[in-house]
Amino acid sequence: MAQAGNKQKRLLWVVSVPMALLALSCVYPVFFAINNALKTNKGYILDRFGIVTEPTLMNFVDVWNRSGLSAYFFNSVVVTLGAVLVLLVISSLAGFAFAVLRFPLRKLIFVVILASLMIPVQVVLVPFYQTIIGLNLLNTRIGLIISYTAFFLPFSVYLMTSFYAGLPRELVEAARIDGAKLIQIWWHVMVPMGKPALITLGILNTLYCWNDVLISLLVLQDKRTLMVGIAALRGEYTTNVPLLSAGIVLAAAPIVILYIVFQRQIVSGIAVGAVKG
């Protein structure tokens, strides 16, 4: 028994050391950004990797006011909230239809939706951009909301369909016997039962929309979102790294807080499609 215990301890150390190094490699960039954000530009040039000795918050003030980050932040909030709400409603309705209802070509349509997950965004950028121009949605927030909905909808539909398919069909049958219509069954039965998946989906889509640069750069060319504005802080020849670091910290803070609060829902929700069938 003692030998078995020693083997388990050694195995635990063998696993723990590389995991600790991996965790350190993930934490260090965060520390590096916060540390440099508290430096002056002169202090960064003199000692790029040293710990800040005279911290200052002026970089945060400058990047928020002078660089227009407040307007970019507002654009990101509006677009992200709008896209996430639309995605939740449409994906929940579609997931209910695919999982519960029986209609012609149901399986074929679902396979097409799944197949679209394998198409890289870069492949459809040219027709996507032409469509945005043709619909007069260029440089509009509603255009970016529709774009996010189109690109992130296949995964959302797949997740909700997988979750709803695992719910007991007796609930739907009982609601039908009571005379409930389809929209009533969806709202009073499926939505409350699907709250765990909906919360997870909302968090994941918030991460996708908030961190996006490529789609936002194409659609909102005049009205930038936060991540595009952060990218614009990099100069062509020189870059004020403390100012850029302050912008990165401000942009990442809401997402980090969101992840810390809902990390259990995120982890459990990612596995929904694997365990629900």
CA dist., res. 70 & res. 104, Å (int): 49
| Interaxial angle between packed helices 195-211 and 263-270, expressed in degrees from 0 to 180 and rounded to the nearest 10 | 100
What's the whole-number mean pLDDT along residues 255-267?
A: 78
- Give 135-168 as a DSSP string: TT-TT-HHHHHHHHHHHHHHHHHHHHHHHHHTS-
What is the pLDDT confidence band of residue 271, given thresholds at 50, 70 and 90?
low
Here the tokens at position 43 are 């202090």
State the greatest distance between any 2 C-alpha atoms of the chain, in Å, as a whole number.
76
Of the candidates 179, 131, 167, 169, the one whose C-alpha atom is nearest the C-alpha of residue 151 is 131
CA dist., res. 203 & res. 156, Å (int): 11
What pLDDT sits at residue 157?
Answer: 95
Here the tokens at position 203 are 């968090």
What pLDDT sits at residue 4?
Answer: 53
CA dist., res. 221 & res. 139, Å (int): 6
**Above 50 in pLDDT, residue 275?**
no
Residues 196-231 have pLDDT tens digits of 889 889 988 998 999 999 999 999 888 889 998 888
* Range in 16-30, 63-77, 95-109, 214-228 the model is least confident about: 16-30
- Give 49-107 as a DSSP string: SSPPSS--SHHHHHHHHTT-HHHHHHHHHHHHHHHHHHHHHHHHHHHHHHHH---TTHH
Mean pLDDT for all residues in the chain: 86
**186, 96 in Cβ contact below 8 A?**
yes
Here the tokens at position 120 are 């890289």
- What pTM, to 2 d.p., does this model score? 0.84
